[in-house]
Amino acid sequence: MNKVLQINESDNVLVALANLQKHETVFYGGKEYILQTDVPAKHKFLMQDIAPGDEIKMYGVLVGKATQPIAKGEIMHTHNVQHASNENYAKQKEANWTAPDITQWKDKIFDGYARSDGRVGTANYWLFIPTVFCENRNLDYIKDALLSQLGYAPTQKYKQLVSRLIEHKDNIDFLKIEELLFEEPINTQRVFPNIDGIKFLNHEGGCGGTRQDSEMLSKLLAAYADHPNVAGVTVLSLGCQHLQVSLLQQDIQQRNPSFNKPIFFFEQQQSVSEEQMIATAIQQTFKGLLEANKVTRTPQPLGKLCIGVKCGGSDGFSGISANPAVGHTADLLVALGGQILLAEFPELYGAEQDLVDRCTTYESAEKFTQLMKSYDAQARSVGSGFYMNPSPGNIKDGLITDAIKSTGA
């Protein structure tokens, strides 16, 4: 088995597939490389001597520049490489995507929740949304009341642990944590088997900032409410905040004029008391859950799937393993009529040229370009930037520059 890999024939670094030792000799492509430093698995080393300012390429694109002389066989790391990427990108060619063969997949199905607007959810959640951070405490009260009683509490083992500690407080040193944590959990049956969960979207916005912040938050919350995985929504409002209920209602309507899910609004300043509002919200939500529970999963074509993809963590091998597999899955799903959503803009920095060339229109390419440049400009205005994106975990795993992260993704 090869110990190293050159991802693209134009790259000038090799990826270590296993831990390599200083002075070890490895062979690749008929050439010999003598390691000048230790190179842990997932890290990269130079295939040739380079000088300060010289470009480093991976995946066939610029991902960094040397900050000092780097010898052939020497590891590239933060002490000798800095981020660099092609920032003068623009759409250069028409998108030419060839759909993969989907013969073996075209008749496959999944069990999903059909919505009245034609979309299909993969889950059936009820949402609690506060229009302002002032309602977070009330959401917490409701969360504490509903999740455990309805069978959605995430785990009981830590509560059981505390109970056992109280029970044996006079001989606490004789208790073995391992045994306590692996005791049989209390079996909690869900009251609503067709409701996959109840989610509480606590946040710190809705007031106390700019009006624009509240307006953007309203659009975000409207998107959550309209999501096909959502069966119904309960909204708690204080009453005097920037993000008024009317604004949220307007944004939901603009987003989906045919929106017809059950949605309940409760305003504290119009209620007799906080307790009365909370009790009424719980009662009305329970009625909504009774109706939502009547919706069951039904067979659906794969073309109804819409999958979101995101950063997979600090794994230096994901760019040559999981990510290509996810990319192929995306091609298959799109060919079947489904959708893939790609987010997290810092993970695209350095891969822009490839992405704008894949845009089907020049208008969408320009929109993407403006989003990337404005995002980076705002980050730089507060002393940061895309180039500072790699985390300690990324760097430890060989993702030295943001361009390496992005091109691997």
- Residue percentage of the chain with pLDDT more than 90: 74
Residue 186 — pLDDT band, cuts 50, 70, 90? low
Q: Are 9 and 61 in contact (CB under 8 A)?
A: no
pLDDT score for 126 = 99
- CB count in 10 Å sphere of residue 262: 16
Indicate left, alpha or beta for 89 from its phi (over 0: left) and psi (-120 to 50: alpha): beta
pLDDT higher than threshold 60 for residue 183: no
More confident call, 176 vs 183: 176
Q: How many distinct structural domains can be found in the chain?
A: 3
More confident call, 323 vs 138: 138
State whether 271 and 342 are in the same domain: no
Point out the domain boundary residue: 271, 294, 317: 294
State whether 334 and 267 are in the same domain: no
State whether 265 and 369 are in the same domain: no
Averaged pLDDT, 148-168: 82
Cα gap 332→307, rounded to integer Å: 12
Cα gap 284→293, rounded to integer Å: 14
Q: Looking at the domain assignment, is residue 11 inside a domain?
A: yes
Q: Looking at the domain assignment, is residue 262 inside a domain?
A: yes
State whether 352 and 209 are in the same domain: no
Residue 390 — pLDDT band, cuts 50, 70, 90? confident
Point out the domain boundary residue: 231, 264, 294: 294
Q: Looking at the domain assignment, is residue 148 inside a domain?
A: yes
C-alpha torsion 264→191→228→339, nearest 10: 160
Whole-Å CA distances, 16 to 33, 255, 316: 12, 48, 10
E-strand ranges in 101-141 read 109-114, 120-121, 125-130
State whether 210 and 355 are in the same domain: no
Work out the widest C-alpha separation in the chain, in whole angstroms.
Answer: 81
State whether 336 and 397 are in the same domain: yes
Parent domain of 75 = 4-83
Point out the domain boundary residue: 30, 50, 83: 83
pLDDT score for 171 = 78
State whether 244 and 145 are in the same domain: yes
pTM: 0.85
pLDDT score for 176 = 72
Cα gap 281→237, rounded to integer Å: 11
Q: Looking at the domain assignment, is residue 390 inside a domain?
A: yes
State whether 250 and 318 are in the same domain: no
State whether 257 and 133 are in the same domain: yes
Cα gap 265→221, rounded to integer Å: 14
Q: Is 202 helix (H, G, I), strand (E, B) or coil?
A: coil
Q: Looking at the domain assignment, is residue 393 inside a domain?
A: yes
Q: Looking at the domain assignment, is residue 370 inside a domain?
A: yes
State whether 307 and 206 are in the same domain: no
Averaged pLDDT, 369-385: 91
Q: Looking at the domain assignment, is residue 377 inside a domain?
A: yes
pLDDT higher than threshold 60 for residue 66: yes
State whether 25 and 76 are in the same domain: yes
Long-range contacts of the stretch 34-39 (C-beta < 8 A, 24+): 34/73, 35/73, 36/71, 36/72, 36/73, 36/74, 37/73, 37/74, 37/75, 38/75, 39/75
Q: Looking at the domain assignment, is residue 113 inside a domain?
A: no
Q: Are 130 and 205 in contact (CB under 8 A)?
A: no
State whether 57 and 146 are in the same domain: no
What's 22's domain CATH number?
A: 2.30.130.110
